[in-house]
């Protein structure tokens, strides 16, 4: 047998295994794993370097329509280019229903936006902002059959939020259809009340964004989301968890045997509310929701990654540049309430967490792979095609350099955003090579991808019960 490509001398790490040897690739899939495999038409000598599955970024926003006149800086071309250069080979952005819009139409529009542009593979989550009977009864089953098997719902944002009754309706439909639900948990009325008071007092700079969204509003909504999921008897995942009080709610629910899953993001590990700045507009670079907290909350998130509370670590890449199309859509002196929420992070997610998580000894390599690739693939119905290194899986692989001495610089990144909130942060690891379905899309500092190479991945029914905590310390669930 001759392989198309053989990766030799790899130090392979998956969510559960570590071994040294070769990976044989044919027709974009892993055809063999072993020692001294036969020759390939092409060969890459990994030279003993670490090789992990390509990253699955299960929470990112690309070319998503907005309702405030802003425009996301990244479309499927620049977003997936940036993903490839940072070792991510599958992205799952959101087909977003505007209130009054058909969900089927929102998905058709999103396919159109992605068509011919993606450099790595992609699937879609749904955002349901208008759960009418027709949407839940007719459109959702049709979209599930077409491979959209997960939904996100919002408890905040005026143009997106659902009330508790609507949430229950959506959760019941999700249960019926086998759809997995992600929940943005912040209390909308508390935020509006605080924001009105702050703006009324003239406290409008970006840093007051954090004052309008204290941990309490996330804690309350997380508690309520868990209660609603328990009532509807359906698994849910709480997205972008920012700190200790929300972690405690989730941990308690998991301890009671409820099927509650959790995601966090690099901004809650590497930024604090101090990054929202002083009185100037610069701090708008770090306006995202929930906001970054403090060092003690960062530690609570690291603990939750290590002890199995979190199953997923995503970027929540929401790319707005600093100009009038983006953060300054309402002017560079606009109050924080009118600044688009979100920060870029697709490309830096894996290198930052490899550096400050794995290489710094905070999490082990298997936890890293599970959080950034295997678990999201399982949860969202893409496993075993994605998320692992196994015979038959897509040859999505990252060959790592792990002895670098660099800092993050926006000038080196490949997104279309004019800043990174991680500018100047230390980096010791970066992908040397990223392969998507056996094709090098990034190699030794060169982007080699091609618009349109990335394929839409219809998702199977999600497999949340297959994603467990780490056994010895994490929670265990049965189906």
Smallest gap from residue 287 Cβ to ligand DUC (A): 7
Smallest gap from residue 265 Cβ to Zn ion (A): 9
Contact, 434 vs 454, CB < 8 A?
no
Residue 63 binding Zn ion, by CB under 5 A: no
Residue 263 binding Zn ion, by CB under 5 A: no
Binding residues with ligand DUC: total (CB under 6 A): 8
> Smaller CB distance to Zn ion: residue 8 or 223?
223
Q: Report the alpha-carbon distance of residue 238 to residue 186 in Å, rounded.
A: 10
Smallest gap from residue 242 Cβ to ligand DUC (A): 10
> Smaller CB distance to ligand DUC: residue 15 or 318?
318
Token representation of residue 10: 């790899």
| Other residues' Cβ atoms within 10 Å of the Cβ of residue 458 | 15
What's the longest Cα–Cα distance across the chain?
73
Residue 316 binding ligand DUC, by CB under 6 A: yes
Smallest gap from residue 391 Cβ to ligand DUC (A): 37
**Quick one: what does residue 375 bind among ligand DUC, Zn ion, none, with the CB cut-off 5 to 8 Å set by partner type?**
none
Residue that has been written with the tokens 């999921």 in this structure: 229
> Smaller CB distance to Zn ion: residue 155 or 365?
155
Q: Report the alpha-carbon distance of residue 114 to residue 108 in Å, rounded.
A: 10
Using the Cα atoms of residue 230, residue 236, residue 240 and residue 243 in order, give the sign of their dihedral. positive
Which positions from 305 to 334 touch Zn ion by CB under 5 A, shown as an x/- string? -----------x------------------
Query: Radius of gyration of the chain from Cα atoms?
Result: 21
Which positions from 334 to 363 touch Zn ion by CB under 5 A, shown as an x/- string? ------------------------------
> Smaller CB distance to Zn ion: residue 63 or 316?
316
Residue 184 binding ligand DUC, by CB under 6 A: yes
Residue 181 binding ligand DUC, by CB under 6 A: no
Residue 318 binding ligand DUC, by CB under 6 A: yes
> What DSSP letter does each residue of 217-277 carry, written as one string?
HHHHHHHHHHHHHHHHT--EEE-S--SHHHHHHHHHHHHTT--EEEEE-THHHH--GGGG-
Smallest gap from residue 162 Cβ to ligand DUC (A): 14
Q: Enumerate residues 331-350 that contact ligand DUC by CB under 6 A.
A: 341-342
Q: Report the alpha-carbon distance of residue 36 to residue 3 in Å, rounded.
A: 13
Smallest gap from residue 267 Cβ to Zn ion (A): 11
Q: Report the alpha-carbon distance of residue 364 to residue 330 in Å, rounded.
A: 44
| Other residues' Cβ atoms within 10 Å of the Cβ of residue 446 | 9
Smallest gap from residue 80 Cβ to ligand DUC (A): 18
Question: What stretches of 243-359 show up as alpha helix (H) in DSSP?
Answer: 244-255, 267-270, 295-306, 349-353
Residue 152 binding ligand DUC, by CB under 6 A: no
**Quick one: what does residue 223 bind among ligand DUC, Zn ion, none, with the CB cut-off 5 to 8 Å set by partner type?**
none
Which positions from 174 to 213 touch Zn ion by CB under 5 A, shown as an x/- string? ----------x-----------------------------
Smallest gap from residue 89 Cβ to ligand DUC (A): 22
Q: Enumerate residues 50-79 that contact ligand DUC by CB under 6 A.
A: 61
> Smaller CB distance to ligand DUC: residue 210 or 427?
210
Smallest gap from residue 114 Cβ to ligand DUC (A): 18
**What's 410's DSSP letter?**
G
Smallest gap from residue 55 Cβ to ligand DUC (A): 19
> Smaller CB distance to ligand DUC: residue 23 or 301?
301
Q: Which residues contact 465 (CB under 8 A, 6 or more apart)?
A: 235, 259, 477, 478, 479
Label the pairing between strands 55-57 and 50-53.
unpaired
> Smaller CB distance to Zn ion: residue 288 or 413?
288
Residue 288 binding ligand DUC, by CB under 6 A: yes
> Smaller CB distance to ligand DUC: residue 51 or 91?
91
Taking alpha carbons only, the member of 47, 40, 43 closest to residue 9 is 47
**Quick one: what does residue 335 bind among Zn ion, ligand DUC, none, with the CB cut-off 5 to 8 Å set by partner type?**
none
Q: How many CA atoms lie within 13 A of 315 on its CB side?
A: 33
Token representation of residue 298: 């960062």
> What DSSP letter does each residue of 436-447 carry, written as one string?
ETTEEEEETTEE
Q: Report the alpha-carbon distance of residue 406 to residue 322 in Å, rounded.
A: 25
Smallest gap from residue 342 Cβ to ligand DUC (A): 3
- Give the angle 86-89-95 at the CA atoms, nearest 5°: 105
Report the interface residues with ligand DUC, using CB under 6 A: 61, 184, 288-289, 316, 318, 341-342
Report the interface residues with Zn ion, using CB under 5 A: 184, 316
């Amino acid at each position: 047998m001759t392989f198309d490509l053989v990766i030799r001398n790899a130090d392979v790490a998956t969510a559960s295994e570590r071994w040294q040897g070769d990976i044989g690739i044919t027709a974009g899939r892993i055809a063999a794993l072993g020692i001294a495999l036969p020759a390939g038409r092409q060969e890459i000598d990994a030279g003993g370097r670490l090789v992990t599955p390509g990253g699955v970024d299960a929470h990112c926003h690309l070319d998503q329509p907005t309702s405030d006149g802003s425009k996301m800086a990244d479309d499927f071309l620049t977003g997936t280019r940036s993903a490839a250069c940072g070792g991510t080979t599958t992205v799952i952005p959101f087909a977003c229903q505007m209130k009054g819009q058909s969900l089927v139409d929102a998905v058709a529009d999103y396919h159109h936006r992605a068509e011919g542009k993606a450099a790595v593979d992609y699937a879609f989550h749904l955002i349901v902002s208008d759960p009418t009977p027709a949407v839940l009864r007719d459109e959702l089953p049709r979209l599930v059959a077409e491979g959209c098997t997960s939904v996100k719902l919002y408890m905040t944002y005026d143009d997106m939020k659902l009330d508790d009754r609507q949430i229950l309706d959506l959760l019941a439909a999700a249960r019926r259809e086998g759809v997995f639900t992600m929940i943005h948990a912040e209390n909308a009325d508390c935020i509006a009340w605080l924001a009105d008071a702050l703006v009324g007092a003239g406290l409008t700079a970006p840093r007051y964004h954090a004052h309008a969204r204290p941990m309490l509003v996330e804690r309350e909504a997380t508690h309520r989301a868990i209660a609603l999921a328990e009532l509807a008897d359906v698994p849910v995942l709480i997205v972008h968890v920012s700190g200790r009080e929300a972690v405690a709610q989730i941990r308690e629910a998991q301890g009671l045997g409820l099927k509650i899953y959790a995601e966090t993001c690099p901004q809650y590990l590497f930024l604090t509310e101090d990054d929202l700045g002083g009185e100037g507009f610069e701090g708008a670079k770090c306006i995202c929701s929930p906001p970054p907290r403090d060092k003690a909350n960062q530690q609570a998130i690291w603990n939750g990654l290590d002890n199995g509370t979190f199953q997923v670590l995503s970027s929540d890449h929401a790319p707005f540049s600093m100009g009038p199309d983006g953060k300054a859509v309402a002017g560079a002196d606009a109050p924080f309430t009118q600044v688009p929420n979100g920060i870029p992070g697709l490309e830096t997610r894996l290198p930052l967490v490899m550096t400050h998580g794995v290489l710094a000894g905070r999490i082990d390599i298997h936890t890293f792979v599970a959080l950034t690739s295997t678990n999201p693939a399982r949860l969202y119905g893409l496993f075993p095609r994605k998320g692992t290194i196994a015979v038959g899986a897509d040859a999505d692989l990252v060959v790592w350099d792990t002895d670098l001495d660099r800092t993050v610089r926006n000038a080196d990144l490949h997104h279309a955003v004019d800043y990174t909130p991680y500018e100047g942060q230390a980096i010791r690891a970066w992908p040397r090579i990223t392969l998507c379905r056996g094709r090098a899309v990034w190699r030794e500092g060169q982007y080699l991808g091609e618009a349109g190479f990335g394929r839409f991945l219809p998702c199977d029914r999600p497999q949340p019960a297959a994603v467990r905590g780490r056994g010895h310390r994490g929670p265990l669930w049965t189906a």
